[in-house]
Structure 1
Amino acid sequence: MASDSFQKRVNNLKRRLPGAMSRDRYRIQRGFSELHRLWKTGRRHEARGRLDRLDRQLKQSIERRQWRRSHRPSPDLTADLPIAKKANLIIDAITSNRVVVISGETGSGKTTQIPKLCLMAGCGIDGMIGCTQPRRIAAVTVAQRIAEEIGESVGGSVGYKIRFTDRSRDDGFIKIMTDGILLSEAQSDRYLNAYDTIIVDEAHERSINIDFVLGVLRTLIDKRRDLKVIITSATIDTGKFAKAFGDAPIIEVSGRRYPVDVRYPGDPGTVLPSEDDTHVESAVATVSRLLQTRRRGDILVFMPTEQDIRECCAALGGIADRPTTILPLYARLSGSDQQRVFAACRGQKIIVSTNVAETSITIPGITYVVDTGLARIPRYNPRTRITALPVVPISRSSADQRKGRCGRVADGICIRLYPEEEYLARPLHTPPEILRANLAEVILRMIALNLGDIENFPFVDGPAPQSVRDGFDHLSELGAIRESGGKAGKRRCVLTGEGRVMARMPLDPRLAKILIRAHREKCLHAAAVIVAALSIQDPRERPAGQSKAADAAHGRFQHPASDFLTLLNIWHAFQEAVRAKKSWGPAKRFCKMHYLSVRRMREWRDVLQQIAVVLREQGMLKGSLKDDIIVSPEMGPSHPNVSGDSHLDSQRLPFQYRPEETRYALYCRQRPRDNDFPGFRSVQTPPGMGGGCRTCGDHPAFCPNCGRNRQCLAGRIGWRPLPVHPSGPPLGTQTG
C-alpha cells in the first residue's frame, strides 16, 4: 500500500512536469531516478522527504511559468522597417519549425525586431529568449534599443550581459549577450535550459565563437525538443546554415529603402589618389571633397586601425570650414564615447570607424560611406604559434556590408578608394575564423564540455586536419591533456589536472599555464597581475593631438628591461592611487592624468578578480590576491613561458629609470655576451614555443608593423634579483 501511494505521487508529479520551466523540468526529471534508488534500497523516509522537496519545487516552477505567461510583454513592431512586412510569415515559421534561418540585408531591422517577433510567436515563457551578438558594443546598443521600443529601461524585461557587466535578470524575457558569454554559460548549464529560444545574430561573420555556438546548438537540437533556434545573417551563406540544420526554412527580408550609388577612383565627384598617397590621405581628401559640395548628411569613414583613425580625425579637424563633429569609433573606446556616434549633434557628423560599424550596429543619418577597403583580420601561423593582426584587403561581402551603412534615410553614396577591377577580383567571403585560427582553446573547451572528437563535431565548416593536430600538440606541450586510448587512427584525449584548471580560467591556455607554474614557483600574485593585463587590450591611450603628453605620462611606468614589469608598475601606481577609496572618482582622476583608459583598468581589475575566484576554487589561493603585489626574493626559481618584445615597447617612449627603485625584473638570455653579467644563468626556449611582437608576431630583427629595428626575445623567463652593472643598465635592456 505504501508503495502504491508513493508511486501515485510520483506519477502525479510526472503529469504536471510539462507545466514547469525548462531549467526546472530537466532538474526535477533527474530527481525521479534518485527517488526510485532511495525507495528500492529501503531508505523510504529519505525518499518521501526528497519527493516532498520535488513537489514544492515543481509547484514553484509552475507558478513562475504562469506568471511569465501573464506578464509577457506585448511589443509593437517598428512599422517602417522592411522586416515588418514579413512579420506574420516569420511568426508562423517560428511557431511551426524548431530552426529558422532569416536572411536580411543591412537595414532590414532583423537585429532589433526578431526578438520581439519571438515574443509574439509565444516564445519566452518556458525560458528566456537569448540573442547573441559578435561584439560588446552591439549587445549593449541592441538591448537599449529593444528596451526603449518596448517602453522599459534596460535590466527589466530586456537585459544584456557582456564580459564583466550583467544587466539581465533571471525573470527577464529577452537577454542580449556576446557569443562568448553563451559559451561560458554552457559550461555550467550544458543544455542551456535557461533559454527556450536562441537567436544567433550576424552569423555571416563566422567568428570562431559563432561557429562554436552553431555547433553546440546542432548537438542540442536533438536533445532538447523544446528548444528553438533562429539564425540571422546577411545574404551570405544562408544556404549553408540551412543545410547544417537539416534544411531549415529560409526567409529573406529586403534591406535598404533608398538607392546607393557606388563610386570608384576617377568617377565624378571622387578624388584620384596618387601612388604615394596613403589610405588615410586618400580618405581625408575624399571627405574634403564631400564637404566642399555642401551636401547634407553624415559621413562614415572605414579605417583598418586605431592609429589610422587618430591620424584621420586629426587631419579632418584641420580642413573643416563649417560646423562639423568628428567622432572616432572602435572597440577600445569607453561606452560613453561609443554612444556619442548615435546622438544628434550640431552640424555635419563625420564618424571614422574600424569594422565595428560594418555590421551589428546601425548609425542613424549616414548618407556617405568612404571605404578604404582594408581591415585588420587575425591570422594564426601554426609554425610560430603566433596570431598576427595584419592589415589586409576586405572581401566583396564585407565591402557590400559597408555600402549598406548608408541609404537608410535618403539616397546614399559609397565611395570606394580602390578600383572596381580590384573589388571584382577579391574573394566573395572572408574565410571563417576557424580556418585561420589557433584551435587549442576550442579543443580545450570541447573536451571540458564532453562534446566529443573535434573531427566529428558539427562545425558548419570543419577545420583543417593540420590545425587540429597542431591544437592537440599545443595543449599536450602545455600539459593540459593526455592521450587515453581511442580507435585506430583516432586521437582521444582527456584533461589532466592542470587542464581542468586551464579550462576554468577566463584566459588563453598559455596564460593559464603561466599561473599554474607561478603557483608552484611561489610568484602567483605578480604573475596574476601580468597575465590579467595580457588578456585585455592595452590600457594606455594616446589621444589625437596629445601623443607627446601621453608618452611622457606613460614613461613614468616604463621599465627598460621588460614590458611585463612596465605593466606591473602601472598596476602598482593605480592601486596606490585608489587604495581604500570607496568610489571610482580617484581612479578616474588618476587615469585621466596618466592617459589610461578607465574602462580597461576596470576590466583589468575584473579579470584579476575572476582569476582569484578560479584560483580559490582550485585550492591554489587562500584569501585574496594582494593589491600591493611585491616581487620578493622568496619568489623562487624561474618558470617557463615565452617572452616576446611587444608593441608596448615599440614607440620609443621616454622613461625615468631609477635603479635604486627597481630591485627585481623578468629576465631572458638574449646573446652569449649576457653571460658576462653576474647572477644569471643561460636558458633555452621551451620546445615548440617562440616569441615575437604581440601585434604582428614577427621574429626577424625588423618588425614592419612596429617600424623599429629590434630583436624579439624568446626563452625561459623568471624572477631574479636585478644587479646594476657598473658600465650600463641591467640585463635585459634592449641594445640592438
Structure 2
Amino acid sequence: MPTAQPTITFDANLPISAAVDEIRDLIERNQVVVVAGETGSGKTTQLPKIALLAGRKRIGHTQPRRLAARTVAARIAQEMGVELGDTVGYQVRFTRQATKQTKVKLMTDGILLAEIGHDRDLRHYDTIIIDEAHERSLNIDFLLGYLKQLLPRRPDLKVIITSATIDTARFSEHFGDAPIVEVSGRTYPVELVYEPLENENDLVEGITKAVTQLHALAEGDILVFCSGEREIRDAAEAVNGLKLSNTEVLPLYARLSAAEQDRVFRPHSGMRVVLATNVAETSLTVPGIRYVVDPGYARISRYSSRTKVQRLPIEEISQASANQRAGRCGRLGPGIAIRLYSEENFEARPEFTEPEILRTNLASVILQMADARLGAIEDFPFVEPPDRSQVRDGLRLLKELGALADPRQGEAEGQRLTKTGRLLAKLPVDPRLGRMLVEAGRRGCAWDVLPVVAALAIPDVRERPTEKQAEADALHRRFWSETGAANAARGEAHGDRDASDIAAIWRLWDYLRNQRNELSGNAFRRMCRDEYLNFLRIREWQDLVSQLREIIGELDLDTQASNADADTRRARARQPRQASAHTPDWDAVHTAILAGLLSHVGLRDERSTVPKTQQRRGRRPMAEYLGARGARFAIQPGSAAAKAEPPLAMAVELVETTRLWARTVAPITAEQVEAVGGHLITRQYSEPRWSVRGGQCVADERVLLLGVPIVAGRTVSYGRIDPVVAREVFIQSALVEGQWQTRHHFFKRNERTRAEAEDLSERTRRRDILVDDRAIFAFYDERVPAEIVSVAHFDRWWRAKRQQDETYLDLVLDDLVDAEQVDAEAFPETWTVGPADLPVSYLFEPGAHRDGVSVDIDVTVLNQVDPAPFTWQVPGLRDELATELIRSLPKAVRTRFVPAPDWGRRALSWLDDHPERASLAFPDALAAALGALSGDPLDATLFNESVLPDHLTVRYVITDGRRELGAGKDFESLRKQFAPRLNKRLNAAASGIAHAGAKTWAFGTIPATTEVDRDPTPLVGYPALVDQGDTVGVRVANTAAKATRSQALGLRRLVTLVAPDPTRSVFARLSNTEKIALSAGPYDNLNALLADVRLKATGDLMATHRIDPDAVRDEAAFRTVVDTIRPDAAERMQAITRSAAKTLGRWAEVRAELARRPDGDTKADITAQLDNLVFAGFIAATPEPHFTRLERYLHAVDVRLKGWASNPAREAQNLDVIAELEDAYEAAIDRYEVGELPPAAAEVGWLLEELRVSLFAQSLGTAQPVSAKRVRTAINSL
C-alpha cells in the first residue's frame, strides 16, 4: 500500500498559526529558538510542522510523559494525513512505532537521553524540540545542558525549546540569548470558586460534591485533577456512585492502555467527567473541558535534607500549577474552576514549582547523568547548577550504595555505574530506597521489602494528635510484635515488643491490606480514623506500592520464585494475602533495608549514656550510639527498639533537635553489615599469628563501617587477607617449627633427621654447624605451591603429590648440617667401658646442670665401670680438655706451655704414639706427655681440675634400665650412694660363694667374677677373701677394685694364720728400752702389738716378692705364697718391731709434752693428728714408706710444741691453713665407702702430713716438694 503524502496545514483557530512565518524564519536563522505560550496555543502540535516547512527532515520531539508522547504523535499524524508510525511516529519505554523514514518522532525525554548513550552527537536528528521545558524535570535539565554542549559540535542541529510563559528568559540566557517567540493562548474568563474541605480525609467527598454542582450546569465536560492512580480509582468509584444521568466517567493517567487513553479524545455525546493526574495540567489538552475540580495536590518527588531520603509525597502544588489547571477550562468558553482549598491557602503557596534538580537528592542527579553518560556533574552546564558541596555529598552517597565504579585513568568521579547503579537509575525512588529494593531482589524478599520502602518514601501514615498521643501510641504499638499484629486483626491488645520499626511497618501494611479486603470503603475509612491512621496517606502508600511492584517486575528484581518467569511472579504478587499466611524472613528483610542505610548504622556505646538534660523525666538512662564518621545519637523514645537498645542498630532517619535522634530503627548484626557493606568496611588486623588448633595463620580482626567498630576483635583466617604472609607463617610455624597436628610420614622422618642434626650440634657444642630456620624454610618454600596457606590446603595437595613422590619433602642430614665442619665419629653415641656399651647423650646449654656429656650407666654395671676412661672425655672434646688443663697449671709452670692449644694438640699426638698411657687417668697421661715433650717432668697434681668448664667433666646418669635413679659428676659418690642397693642384690645372688670363719684354705677355687643373669646386662660380682680378724672368709665385692683390696688384706691375714709364727724369737731379741717403748703404745698388750707387727710383715713380704693377691684363687697358689714368705718372716718382723719402738718412743714423749700444754685450738689439732697417726692397729694399717716416716712426723709435732709459744701469730696462721685443707680433704674422701679409700686419695692424706712438717718443723725437711697450693690442687683432683 503506497504511503500517503503528508499535508502540512495550520488551523487558523490556533494562536500559533499567526506566527508560523516568524517562527520558520527564526528556525532558519538561529540554532536555538525559544517558543513560549500557554496551554492550548498549539505549539506542541504545530511546531513539528513548522520545522518541516523550514526544511528539517529528522525531527526529535520530546514530551515529559508517555501519554503525551503517544497522543501528540497521533494528533500530528492525523493533521498531516499520514499513518501513525510512518512520517510521524513515537517511542516510549515499552513501545516503538516509528521507522527509519519517520520524519517526526515523538518520545519521552528519557528516551532521548537513552539514545545519547549510543549516539553521542544525536546524528539521527537534525532538529530537537524540547517541549514543556518549564516543567524543569531532571531529564529536561539534562537535555538542555547536553544540547548546550552538543551545539558547537553540531552546527547543523536546530533546537526548539517550548515553555509555558514561565521564566522563559532563563532558557534564552542558557543558550546564549536565543530568540524568544511568545504565542498567546486563546482563553476565556475562568471563574475561581474556593470550597476548602473541612477534613483532608474528606477529599473524595469534596470531589463528588463539586462534580454534582458542576453537572447541574450541563454545559461541558469536567476535568478532575487527582494525585495518583489510587485516588483516581477512589474518585471514579464515588462519582459513578452518584449515578449522574448521561454522564461518562473516564480515568486518564500514563499507565492506562492506549485504547483507554484514546477514549478521552474521541467525540462523544453527553457529559464526561475526566479524572486525570497532572499529565493534563500542561502536556495534554483534553477536549471539551468547561469545568475543573482542583484538590490542589500532586505527587512530587522531593529530597528530604532532614531524613536524607528522596520521597514521593503528595503535596500542595504551586500557584503556577494551580493556574495552569484552572486555564484548562477556559479554552472553549467561560469556565469554572473549583479549588478544594481556601484562597488564603492559594496565596500562601510558592509562586513556581521548584525545578526537580533543586528538590532532588543530587545522588539521583549524578545517577541519572551517569546512566545517560552525560559526563561529570561538576562540568555539566545545568540551567541552574547545583552546589558543589551537595555534589560531593551525592557522590559519597552513591559510593555508599555501591552504585559507582572506580574511575578509570583520566575519568572524572561518578561517570560509570555498577550493575547496582544501573538498576538504581531505573527506579523512581530515592537511591537509598532503590538500593533496598535491589538488595531485596537479590535476597528473595522483594515483595516483603516493597511496602516498607514505599512507606519510607511518603509521610508516615500513623498520626499522633496532640490530645490523643497516648491512645494513638498504644494502638500503633500493636504492630511492634507478631502477637500484637495478630491481636490487632482480632481487635485485641498488643503483644510483647520485639525491637524493629521496620517489622512494625510491614505488619501495619499486612494488617491494613487484610482490613481493606474485609471492610467496605466507608468502614475502612472509619477504622483508619479510629486507629489514628491517615486514610489519604494509606491510599498514597497503596498506590506507590502498586507502581513500584510493576517496575520491580519489569526490572526482574523479584527473585523469590526463581523458577517462575517474571509475569507469573508479578501476577502472584498482586493476589491478596491473609495476614497470617506469611511471615517474612526478617534477617533477609533487614539486610536488604540495611543496604540503603549503611551510613545510618550505630554501635551502642557501653561507656556512655545520653546526658540527663536530654532525657525525659522519670525515664531510665538511654544508651548512646556511635554512628558513622564520629556522629553520636540516641534512639527516639517512641521507637520499638528504644527499650531493647540493640547493640548494633540501623536508623532510617537521623534527626537533630535537642540532640541527634534515630527514628525508624531496627536491630542488625555485624554479619548483615558485612554482607552488604563490604565496600565501605575498613578492616584492621593484629599481628598475624599461628593457630595450632585451626591449622592456619590467624589474626584478630577489627571491622569498622565508616568509623563504627561493628566487630571489636574476632579471630579470622589470615589466608584471605594476605596469602603471602599466611603461607610464610604456615611454612615457618607448621613445617619448620612443627606446630601442627599431623600424621604425615614425611614430617615424622624429617623430625628424626632434625633431631639427629640437633643431637650432632649438642654433641659438638657448635651451633654454627646447623643451618638456621631460614634454610629449612627455603627448602619447603621451594617445594610447596604458592597457594598453600594452611594445613587444610596442604593436606589436600600432599595427598596427591605423595602418590608421585613419597620423599618429595624429605630432609637429609646434609640439608641441616655443614658436614665439612664436624666429625660425627668424634662424638660417639655409646662409650664402651669394660663389658658395657654405655649410651652417651649431649647437651649444649651452658650453665645448666646437664650441660656437656652425659653417660648412662645401669646400676647393675656400676661396679664394673672404671671411671678413668671418662677422664679422657669424648674425642671431640679432648683438644679443649687438654688446653683447659694446661691453662689450669700454676702460672710459674703454665708459662712453659704457651700457647696452650698448640701444646695440647702436641700432647695428644704424643699420646696417640704411646698407647700404653691410655690406661692412666687423663691428667696423669697429659702430664706424662707434656713432661716428655718439654724435657721437664710435670706433676699431674698441679692440674687444677676444679676450674675446668663444667662441660668438660663427664656427667654420670645412674639408671635401672627404665628410669633415672641419680646423676652427678662425682663417680665415686654415686658408686657409694648405690653400693648398698648393689650389695644387697649381689649378696642375695651370690650366697653360694660366700664363706666365713676359716683359718686355713677352705674355699676350693675362688672365681674372679660371678654373674647373675639380668636383662639387658648381667649383674657381675667379684669374689674375694676378706679379713675377719681372727679368721678369713669369702665375700662378693661390687667392684673389681674393692675385690682387689679385700683379696690382698684377706690373703695377708690367712697367710699369717697358716705360716709358722716367729714372734717368740723376735721378742727375745728386743732390748728392754724397745720393750718399754712398745708397751707404752695404744695396743691392749704387747702380744696384740706383735700380732699387728706380724700381719704387716706378711704384707710387706708379699709386696717384696711381688705376689699378686688376685692370682691366688686356689689352695695350691695359697701354699706357694706361704712357702715364699716363710724364710724372711722373722727378719722382717724384727725390723718392723724396732721401727715401731722408735715411733712409739717419740709418740710417748710428744704426748707427755702435750699434756703440759693448755687447752686450745693447737692442742686439739695436735691431739687429732696423733690419733690419726698412732692407734691400735696402726702398724699393719700404715703402708710403706709412710710407716718409716711416722717418727719424723711425730718429731715435727715435738718441734711445733716447743716453738708454739714463741710465735703464736705464726702458729695461728699455719693452723688456719691446715684446718682449711683438712676440711677440704675430709669432704673429698667422704664420697668413698669406709675402708675403700683408693691409694691416690690416701696419698693426699700423707701429703698433708708433709705439709705439717713444712709449716711447723721446716728444719726436718720433707720427703717431696710440698705447699698449701700443691695440696689444694691434689685435693681438687680427687
Aligned to 1:389: 312
Deviations 1:223-260 (A, max 9, x none): 1111110000000011110111000000111112x412
Cα separation, partners in 2 of 1:343 and 1:714, compared to 1, 3 Å: farther
Aligned to 2:223: 300
Aligned to 1:460: 383
Q: Does 1:290 align with 2:214?
A: yes
* Equivalent of residue 217 in structure 1, options 147, 172, 180: 147
- Report the alpha carbon displacement of residue 123 of structure 1 after superposing the two structures with TM: 0.5
CA distance in 1 between partners of 2:154 and 2:454 (Å)? 36
Letter paired with 2:215: L
Letter paired with 1:438: N
Aligned to 2:652: 690
Letter paired with 1:262: E
Aligned to 2:124: 194
Letter paired with 2:278: N
CA distance in 2 between partners of 1:535 and 1:170 (Å)? 42
Q: Does 1:666 align with 2:666?
A: no
SS of the aligned residue for 1:286 comes to helix
Checking the alignment, whether the CA contact within 8 Å between 1:155 and 1:169 is kept in structure 2 is yes
Cα separation, partners in 2 of 1:714 and 1:394, compared to 1, 3 Å: farther
- Report the alpha carbon displacement of residue 373 of structure 1 after superposing the two structures with TM: 2.0
CA distance in 1 between partners of 2:274 and 2:666 (Å)? 39
Cα separation, partners in 2 of 1:495 and 1:248, compared to 1, 3 Å: closer
SS of the aligned residue for 1:358 comes to helix
Cα separation, partners in 2 of 1:653 and 1:600, compared to 1, 3 Å: closer
Figure out how many residues of one structure are paired with residues of the other and give that number.
Answer: 529
Aligned to 1:249: 179
Letter paired with 2:126: D
Superposition TM-score, scaled by structure 2 size: 0.37
Aligned to 1:177: 107
- Report the alpha carbon displacement of residue 607 of structure 1 after superposing the two structures with TM: 2.9
* Equivalent of residue 202 in structure 2, options 264, 270, 278: 278
Which aligned pairs between 1:240-639 and structure 2 lie closer than 5 A?
240-256=170-186, 258-265=187-194, 274=198, 278-293=202-217, 295-447=218-370, 451-481=374-404, 492-493=412-413, 499=418, 502-503=421-422, 507-508=426-427, 524=442, 526=444, 606-608=554-556, 627=564
Cα separation, partners in 2 of 1:453 and 1:209, compared to 1, 3 Å: same
Checking the alignment, whether the CA contact within 8 Å between 1:358 and 1:401 is kept in structure 2 is yes
Checking the alignment, whether the CA contact within 8 Å between 1:448 and 1:500 is kept in structure 2 is no
Checking the alignment, whether the CA contact within 8 Å between 1:532 and 1:604 is kept in structure 2 is no
- Report the alpha carbon displacement of residue 351 of structure 1 after superposing the two structures with TM: 1.4
Letter paired with 2:16: I
CA distance in 2 between partners of 1:176 and 1:533 (Å)? 35
CA distance in 2 between partners of 1:526 and 1:357 (Å)? 38
Checking the alignment, whether the CA contact within 8 Å between 2:404 and 2:414 is kept in structure 1 is yes
SS of the aligned residue for 1:156 comes to coil
SS of the aligned residue for 2:83 comes to coil
Checking the alignment, whether the CA contact within 8 Å between 1:362 and 1:405 is kept in structure 2 is yes
Aligned to 1:156: 86
Deviations 1:346-394 (A, max 9, x none): 4210112221210111111001112222222221124433222233222
SS of the aligned residue for 1:462 comes to coil
Cα separation, partners in 2 of 1:533 and 1:217, compared to 1, 3 Å: farther
Which aligned pairs between 1:45-56 and structure 2 lie closer than 5 A?
none
* Equivalent of residue 72 in structure 2, options 129, 137, 142: 142
How large is the RMSD of aligned CA atoms in angstroms?
A: 4.6
- Report the alpha carbon displacement of residue 344 of structure 1 after superposing the two structures with TM: 3.2
CA distance in 2 between partners of 1:440 and 1:536 (Å)? 19
- Report the alpha carbon displacement of residue 461 of structure 1 after superposing the two structures with TM: 1.2
Letter paired with 2:292: V
CA distance in 1 between partners of 2:419 and 2:549 (Å)? 28
- Report the alpha carbon displacement of residue 164 of structure 1 after superposing the two structures with TM: 1.6
Cα separation, partners in 2 of 1:253 and 1:530, compared to 1, 3 Å: farther
- Report the alpha carbon displacement of residue 423 of structure 1 after superposing the two structures with TM: 2.8
Checking the alignment, whether the CA contact within 8 Å between 2:652 and 2:665 is kept in structure 1 is no
Cα separation, partners in 2 of 1:671 and 1:515, compared to 1, 3 Å: closer
- Report the alpha carbon displacement of residue 161 of structure 1 after superposing the two structures with TM: 1.0
CA distance in 2 between partners of 1:349 and 1:366 (Å)? 9
Compare CA radii of gyration and give the structure with the larger one.
Answer: 2
Cα separation, partners in 2 of 1:714 and 1:346, compared to 1, 3 Å: farther
- Report the alpha carbon displacement of residue 173 of structure 1 after superposing the two structures with TM: 0.7
CA distance in 1 between partners of 2:589 and 2:201 (Å)? 42
Checking the alignment, whether the CA contact within 8 Å between 1:375 and 1:392 is kept in structure 2 is yes
Aligned to 1:733: none
Q: Select between 307-316 and 177-186 the one with higher mean Cα deviation.
A: 307-316
Checking the alignment, whether the CA contact within 8 Å between 2:450 and 2:548 is kept in structure 1 is no
Cα separation, partners in 2 of 1:628 and 1:449, compared to 1, 3 Å: closer
Letter paired with 2:193: Y
Cα separation, partners in 2 of 1:341 and 1:411, compared to 1, 3 Å: same
- Report the alpha carbon displacement of residue 297 of structure 1 after superposing the two structures with TM: 0.6
- Structure 1 unaligned segments of length 5 or more: list them: 1-69, 266-270, 538-554, 568-594, 613-624, 630-647, 676-680, 693-698, 702-710, 720-736
Cα separation, partners in 2 of 1:208 and 1:255, compared to 1, 3 Å: same
- Structure 2 unaligned segments of length 5 or more: list them: 456-488, 490-502, 511-542, 567-571, 592-638, 655-660, 674-1278
Checking the alignment, whether the CA contact within 8 Å between 1:302 and 1:352 is kept in structure 2 is yes
Superposition TM-score, scaled by structure 1 size: 0.62
CA distance in 1 between partners of 2:100 and 2:563 (Å)? 33
Deviations 1:42-96 (A, max 9, x none): xxxxxxxxxxxxxxxxxxxxxxxxxxxx998442223321111111111111111
CA distance in 1 between partners of 2:506 and 2:365 (Å)? 28
Aligned to 1:37: none
CA distance in 2 between partners of 1:533 and 1:165 (Å)? 29
Cα separation, partners in 2 of 1:380 and 1:602, compared to 1, 3 Å: closer
Letter paired with 1:91: R
Letter paired with 1:79: A
* Equivalent of residue 236 in structure 1, options 154, 166, 181: 166
Cα separation, partners in 2 of 1:674 and 1:394, compared to 1, 3 Å: closer
- Report the alpha carbon displacement of residue 666 of structure 1 after superposing the two structures with TM: 2.9
Cα separation, partners in 2 of 1:203 and 1:284, compared to 1, 3 Å: same
Cα separation, partners in 2 of 1:225 and 1:462, compared to 1, 3 Å: same
* Equivalent of residue 156 in structure 2, options 182, 201, 226: 226
Cα separation, partners in 2 of 1:197 and 1:279, compared to 1, 3 Å: same
Aligned to 2:28: 95
- Report the alpha carbon displacement of residue 664 of structure 1 after superposing the two structures with TM: 9.9
Cα separation, partners in 2 of 1:238 and 1:486, compared to 1, 3 Å: farther
Q: Select between 129-138 and 168-177 the one with higher mean Cα deviation.
A: 168-177
Letter paired with 1:259: Y
- Report the alpha carbon displacement of residue 500 of structure 1 after superposing the two structures with TM: 6.8
Checking the alignment, whether the CA contact within 8 Å between 2:142 and 2:382 is kept in structure 1 is yes
Q: Does 1:112 align with 2:42?
A: no
Which aligned pairs between 1:47-66 and structure 2 lie closer than 5 A?
none
Q: How many percent of aligned residue pairs carry the same amino acid?
A: 43
Cα separation, partners in 2 of 1:527 and 1:493, compared to 1, 3 Å: farther
Cα separation, partners in 2 of 1:248 and 1:314, compared to 1, 3 Å: same
Checking the alignment, whether the CA contact within 8 Å between 1:529 and 1:608 is kept in structure 2 is no
SS of the aligned residue for 1:493 comes to coil
Deviations 1:135-185 (A, max 9, x none): 111111111111111222221111111112111222211111111111111
- Report the alpha carbon displacement of residue 412 of structure 1 after superposing the two structures with TM: 1.9
